């Protein structure tokens, strides 16, 4: 699987987990696999790392997102798709040193193109660009 495919499946798993947090990641992956014969039998290690990492670090990731929202916005106002794409990208930026920040941003924008709209894409780009800028200054 390509890294892009892994991120796409990670987003789908995280979306399903957001709806039903009690479900096991392995069971969700198996459901996806039944619908897509191209997915490998065994869940790729990076897919497991992303889904478990984002789920485990959700509060910290949300705090980062909140710090880049203006006063008129809150996490509750974000649609689930945008929130999950931001969490996924920020997780990679903060915790996966092998992935350059700009790659994580580009991937989030590609996924936004697939799962959201242009307005959301611009919003995600703004948040992530500001995060990267701040990280480069520090």
pLDDT band at 43; cut points 50, 70, 90? very high
Measured CA angle at 12 (ends 8, 18), to 5 deg:
140
What pTM was estimated for this model as a whole?
0.94
Domains and CATH numbers, the chain: 3-137 (1.10.940.10)
Looking at the chain, the whole-number percentage of residues with pLDDT higher than 70 is 99
Q: Distance between CA 49 and CA 116 in Å, rounded? A: 24
Measured CA angle at 38 (ends 125, 100), to 5 deg:
30
Residue 120: count of CB within 10 angstroms of its CB: 18
Residue with tokens 């203006």: 70
For 73-100, the pLDDT digits (tens) are 889 899 999 999 999 999 999 999 999 9
How much is the pLDDT for 71? 83
Q: Are 3 and 100 in contact (CB under 8 A)?
A: no
How much is the pLDDT for 39? 94
Residue with tokens 């997915």: 39
């Amino acid at each position: 699987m390509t890294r892009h495919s892994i991120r796409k499946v990670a987003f789908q798993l995280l979306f399903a987990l957001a709806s039903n947090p009690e479900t096991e990641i392995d069971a969700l992956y198996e459901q996806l696999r039944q619908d897509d014969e191209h997915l490998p039998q065994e869940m790729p290690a990076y897919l497991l790392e992303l889904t478990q990492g984002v789920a485990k670090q959700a509060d910290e990731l949300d705090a980062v997102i909140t710090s880049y929202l203006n006063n008129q916005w809150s996490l509750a106002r974000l649609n689930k798709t945008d929130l999950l794409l931001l969490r996924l990208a920020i997780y990679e930026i903060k915790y996966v040193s092998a992935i350059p920040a700009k790659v994580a941003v580009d991937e989030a924008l590609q996924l936004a193109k697939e799962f959201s709209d242009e307005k959301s894409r611009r919003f995600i780009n703004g948040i992530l660009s500001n995060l990267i800028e701040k990280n480069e200054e520090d």
